[in-house]
Amino acid sequence: MKCRFCAALLSDVFLDLGSAPPSNAFLSESDLGAAELYFPLRLYTCARCHLVQVDEVQKHDALFAGDYVYFSSFSRSWLAHAKRYVEVAVKRLGLDGHSLVVEVASNDGYLLQYVKASGIPCVGIEPTSGTAAAARELGIESIDRFFGCALAHEFVADRGCADLIIGNNVLAHVPDLNDFVSGLSTMLAPQGVITVEFPHLMQLVAQGQFDTVYHEHFSYFSFHTAQRVFEKHGLRIWDVEELETHGGSLRLWVCRQPAAHRTLPSVDKMLKGESARGMNSMDYYHGFQSRADTIKNDFLVFLLEAKKAGKQVAGYGAAAKGNTLLNYAGVRSDLLAYVVDASPHKQGRYLPGSRIPVVGEAHLRTRRPDFVVILPWNIKAEIAAQLEYIRSWGGKILTIIPKLELT
């Protein structure tokens, strides 16, 4: 395998989670009689540019198909995050009714609804037809295609350049990284701005977030590697923010190299911070496997002891990260009876690999489990507040990352 950014040969394994089905390939009841396709889930570190990446063993158009079940709007905290971002971006960039905002991977319109409400023209680009249809129901124009250079050239010829391009948690999902970033550069107005958000590799390592690894996440970025990627395509990062989302993310503010935006001290500060952590050395990327194994083993010990004691354990949040954890640990419904999820698009289905049923929250109130494992730990506070009522029957909440913790 060659690095998807710099084309160097890859041989350094960062993490090997064995084989698993795609984390968002949920099953219907009729699927349970058929075999599932499992693919290797192994990450490499590029010794030249330090991009951590998964081998593309399944094509992205199969991973992000029309029946894709992730709809962003079912998380209240994520909606609040999107609304705050829009308020900041509109004010900071002086956007108005004459501006054009484009969001790549716009999902169900979770963010562009706030752009539209501000009276600013906007367009979403979203390859999964189900989520794009949901966005159109909100009155948001959506283009059902994968983004890249070809689409960017067509868009500019038809609509002109964008004043703001938004890419939240999409950079990691791109198999052809150079084509994608080149497309961003092509679509951007001379003084326009691109903002991208992605989980920070430094936080993944620091907090043992191995469950954020799945086939849909092709790349895992440090800041210094992301800077190299954008620079290759004539773009400059002029500001960077650290966010709490997804266990610790970065938001980059990017422009064309000659644009008037002044590069802020935050950029140099972030580079120095990563260097101080050792992220520019291959030694930093060794030893992560043992941390993942420790977390997995602690989780299994808990589940086995709970079963031996006659306790019922349920899950909350049928998230992709939960599927990575469950499949790597080999957990099935005998140890985790069911998983509750707020999205009707997931209820009535079964988790890929583990085949644990996904149910609505009413099931939780009826069954009264002794423990509820919050699988999407990145929104733990939101879910824990929602599940406060389980304490009335002595129920306890459990999280696994960065360590097993009962509350």
Question: What would the pLDDT profile of 282-297 be if each residue is shown by its tens digit?
Answer: 999 999 999 999 999 9
Q: pLDDT tens digits for 92-101?
A: 999 999 999 9
Minimal CA–CA distance to 246: which of 113, 72, 62, 16? Answer: 72
Q: Which residues contact 278 (CB under 8 A, 6 or more apart)?
A: 284
Minimal CA–CA distance to 104: which of 7, 16, 186? Answer: 186
pLDDT value at position 245? 87
Q: Is the confidence at residue 199, as pLDDT, over 70?
A: yes
| Residue 262 backbone phi and psi in degrees, to 5 | -80, 135
Work out the pLDDT band at 246, boundaries 50, 70, 90.
confident
- d(Cα 181, Cα 308) in Å, to the nearest integer? 52
pLDDT value at position 72? 66
Work out the pLDDT band at 407, boundaries 50, 70, 90.
confident
Q: pLDDT tens digits for 80-120?
A: 999 999 999 999 999 999 999 999 999 999 999 999 999 99
Between 280 and 216, the higher pLDDT residue: 280
Sort strands 142-143 and 39-45 into parallel, antiparallel or unpaired.
unpaired
- d(Cα 397, Cα 373) in Å, to the nearest integer? 6
Sort strands 405-406 and 396-399 into parallel, antiparallel or unpaired.
antiparallel
Sort strands 396-399 and 371-374 into parallel, antiparallel or unpaired.
parallel
In the chain, domain spans: 12-56, 72-285, 299-406
Mean pLDDT of the chain: 94
Q: pLDDT tens digits for 133-169?
A: 999 999 999 999 999 999 999 999 999 999 999 999 9
C-alpha distances in Å from residue 234, one per residue of 5, 78, 154, 213, 392? 15, 31, 20, 29, 58
Does the model's pTM come out above 0.85?
Answer: yes
CATH of 299-406, one of 3.60.10.10, 3.40.50.720, 3.40.50.10490, 3.30.930.10: 3.40.50.720
- d(Cα 150, Cα 236) in Å, to the nearest integer? 22
pLDDT value at position 69? 54
Give the CA-trace dihedral at 65, 18, 324, 82, to 10 degrees.
-60
Sort strands 52-54 and 219-220 into parallel, antiparallel or unpaired.
antiparallel
Tokens of residue 167, six digits = 């890419």
Neighbours of 119 (CB within 10 A): 11
Is 72-285's fold the same as 299-406's?
A: yes
| DSSP secondary structure letter of residue 2 | B
CATH of 72-285, one of 3.40.50.150, 3.55.10.10, 3.40.50.1220, 3.20.20.70: 3.40.50.150
C-alpha distances in Å from residue 85, one per residue of 79, 81, 149, 241, 346? 10, 6, 26, 12, 28
Order of strands, sheet of 219-220, starting from the edge strand that comes earlier in the sequence: 12-20, 39-45, 52-54, 219-220
Q: pLDDT tens digits for 337-359?
A: 999 999 898 999 999 999 999 99
